[in-house]
Amino acid sequence: MKDLRLLKNLFFFLLLGFSLCAIQACGDDDEKDETIEEPTIKDDEEEIVPSTPKRLVQMIEEEYDEGDGLHIHTYQFDYDKNGKLASVTEYDTDGDVDDTYSISYTENSITCVETDDKEEDYNGESENVTFRLLNGRINMAIEKHGSSLSYTHSYSYNSSNYLVKTKGELGNMTFTWEGDKLMGGYKHVDKDNYAYSLEYDGKTCKGYNPVMVWMLASDILYESDCFPVVVGPELAGFKTTQLPKSVKEGDETTNFTYELYEDGYLKQCMAIEDDSYYEVYTFVWE
């Protein structure tokens, strides 16, 4: 699960910024053929209203380590009037605010700024990441930790617009897809290669699976905690409804179990490596 923890940290910054185009209202622009009589709805019939995609408003992460006990982190996602992610607030196990992040947008970029870090790791200076967009997807991220530390990452996609490669100053990662299924790849970090693979048993969810993004975020941004794909994974070519059965990295295997809401959206995912370590993710959609 140590490697899974690396995977998971990568997705907080992915989480943060990707939500900006995750929610779009659907309008009905079709013209009616006046020669066809429209059916009438009887009083005892329920009118069918088309559903619109839900957006992720909260994620609760419970992490249990036999040597460190249980830790709970809650992430609250707030949106502006246009449906774009505006801020993220992280709460610790005691319910106190741990970190807050604000997200701003231009036509071709998204910037995520850490606005409150109680640990003040960089002499009180905030962390921030600017994502540059090309054709609606992130093609570069500039990650800054205070004024003295900066990393640059680039992103490549396949013909179906799924992420296939990340390259940064501290390492790179590849992703192999079969349709919308992530099958595996490798991480090259600190001059070492780590291959990983995923297995499936046919389970899917409605909307998308945030766990996939969250698990891989720390590898995409390496040291950062803030990544906007969890709420808008299409920005990073990571939007999938597939629910993997397991992921194997080296001699470690992590198994997943899921619970869905009645409407098919993902409610909870448990990731178990062994009796000494597990993680539970709970999602709230609106």
Query: At residue 249, does pLDDT exceed 60?
Result: yes
* Mean pLDDT taken over the chain: 78
Mean pLDDT computed over 275-282: 88
Of the candidates 101, 134, 125, 118, the residue with the CA atom closest to the CA atom of residue 17: 101
Confidence of residue 134 (pLDDT cuts 50, 70, 90): very high
Residue 284 reports pLDDT greater than 60 = yes
pLDDT at 265 over 90: yes
Cα separation, 275 vs 51, whole angstroms? 41
pLDDT at 191 (0 to 100): 65
Whether the pLDDT of residue 205 is over 60: the answer is yes
Q: With 0.75 as the threshold, say if the pTM is over it.
A: yes
**Per-residue pLDDT averaged across 206-232, rounded?**
70
- Could you tell me which residues come within 8 angstroms of residue 52 by beta carbon, excluding any fewer than 6 positions away? 23, 25, 26
Each residue's pLDDT tens digit, 95-119: 999 888 899 999 899 998 888 655 5
d(CA 286, CA 284): 7
156-204 pLDDT per residue, tens: 999 999 999 988 876 788 999 999 999 999 887 666 778 889 999 999 9
Maximum CA extent, the chain: 72
Highest mean pLDDT range out of 47-56, 142-151, 191-200?
Answer: 191-200
Selection from 220, 214, 83 nearest residue 143 by Cα: 220
CB 227 within 8 A of CB 17: yes
Q: Tens of pLDDT along 232-241?
A: 888 888 899 9
Assess whether pLDDT exceeds 80 at residue 224: no
Tell me how far apart the alpha carbons of residues 135 and 174 are, in angstroms, rounded to a whole number: 21
Residue 281's pLDDT band (cuts 50, 70, 90): very high
**pLDDT tens digits for 253-263?**
999 999 999 99
